[in-house]
Amino acid sequence: MSEHHPSAAEGIAVIGGGSIGVAFAVLFARAGHPVRISDPSPDRRAIIPTEIAARLDGLAEHGLLEETTADIAARITTTDSVADAVSDAVLVQECAPERADLKRALFAEVDENAPPEAVLASSSSALPVSRFAAGLPGESRCLVAHPGNPPHLIPVIELVPAPFTTEATVEKAEAIYTDAGLSPIRVHGEPEGFVFNRLQGALLREAYCLVRDGVASVDDVDKAVRDGLGRRWSFMCPFETVDLNTRGGIESHAAKMGPAYERMGAERGQHDPWTGDLVAAVTAQRRALLPLDDWDKRVAWRDEQLMSNLLRTPDTTTEDHS
């Protein structure tokens, strides 16, 4: 259990005020934290307040703020100094460009200047923290915390510790992000692409193959997700989907569909069969989340969700970039 009880009064430092940094600043300020953004570019620093105001206006228009945009924006300040930004932070969220040399230099500077109890997190999309924080005096408090884009609208955040990161660091990060409204997931072993991009990559690789082989157009592949898979994935995803697709749950689905999925994988040179042990492990986790006795009720819930989504009628007009 985490010993840390997050308080909205605690300061957050955002290092790098680009797309991700600005969105994190909005997220944390909306949750009540004072936020200090550091960016070496005077042009960026000059435009950050305008970008923050625009994002807050969007949230306000959709009724997503409990305070005025001015009150929230007033919690965010900018500086050109990393040392200044991190000086009283409980969490440092590094959002600088995706370069190992740059992140290594930044983490050394942050580690030297942040309070000893601060968590040092990188938004890195692909570089594992072991590539740029190994050997620092404070390496045990460093981890990757990879957001969706933009983090103030996409709640998932992947926590990816290195072998040298302590469990207490991960728990503290988890508590702070959860308190700010994010939905952290834990990734073990620093795999390339973590979980988010590996899942996205599996679908994208197949989408490219389908277009290459003339099986479907780009628009039709997108429609298959937008008007099909994505409808369910907006509120449940992929294990729960197939668990509810087949009476008897995911074990029954794997027995019926496993061989077909294995052949599809083999067609693409991938041999990762769903072995009996693996299906049993996945089934055990699903049954812990949803006992089979509740299956019918959950299927009815799924249909309720789909019906309320149909009422929203998303804007699916052809893109117009004019």
Residue nearest to ligand NAD (CB): 18
Q: Which stretch binds ligand NAD (CB under 6 A): 54-62, 118-126, 228-236, 306-314?
A: 118-126
As given in the structure block, the two tokens for residue 75 are 């919690």
36 binds ligand NAD (CB under 6 A): no
Rule CB under 6 A: choose which of 2, 18, 255, 279 binds ligand NAD: 18
128 binds ligand NAD (CB under 6 A): no
* Cβ distance to ligand NAD smaller for residue 38 or 169: 38
96 binds ligand NAD (CB under 6 A): yes
Rule CB under 6 A: choose which of 42, 63, 97, 163 binds ligand NAD: 97
Interface of this chain with ligand NAD, residues 149 to 168, rule: CB under 6 A: 149
Contacts with 270 (C-beta within 8 Å, 6 or more apart), sequence order: none
Give the helix/strand (H/E) hosting 290.
Answer: none
Residue found under tokens 């680009």: 18
Determine if residue 16 is left, alpha or beta; phi over 0 gives left, psi from -120 to 50 gives alpha, anything else beta. left
Q: Which stretch binds ligand NAD (CB under 6 A): 24-32, 92-100, 220-228, 299-307?
A: 92-100
Q: Let me know the angle formed at the C-alpha of 151 by 235 and 314, rounded to the nearest 5 degrees.
A: 45
Rounded to 10°, the helix 19-30/42-61 angle is: 50
38 binds ligand NAD (CB under 6 A): yes
20 binds ligand NAD (CB under 6 A): yes
19 binds ligand NAD (CB under 6 A): yes
* Cβ distance to ligand NAD smaller for residue 32 or 193: 193
Q: Let me know the angle formed at the C-alpha of 221 by 217 and 227, rounded to the nearest 5 degrees.
A: 130
Rule CB under 6 A: choose which of 13, 95, 110, 145 binds ligand NAD: 95
Residue 72's CB is within 10 A of a number of other CB atoms, namely 25
**18/294 Cα distance (integer angstroms):** 46
Q: Shortest Cβ distance from residue 173 to ligand NAD (Å)?
A: 16
275 binds ligand NAD (CB under 6 A): no
Q: Which stretch binds ligand NAD (CB under 6 A): 32-40, 110-118, 186-194, 215-223?
A: 32-40
- The SS3 call for residue 191 is coil
* Cβ distance to ligand NAD smaller for residue 125 or 245: 125
* DSSP line for 98-167: S-HHHHHHHHHHHHHHS-TT-EEEE--SS--GGGTSTT-TTGGGEEEEEEPSSTTT--EEEEEE-TTS-H
Is residue 25 a contact partner of residue 37, using CB atoms and an 8 Å limit? yes
Q: Which stretch binds ligand NAD (CB under 6 A): 68-76, 120-128, 164-172, 266-274?
A: 120-128
Task: Name the residues that contact ligand NAD, by CB under 6 A.
Answer: 15-21, 38-41, 44, 95-98, 102, 106, 123-125, 146-147, 149
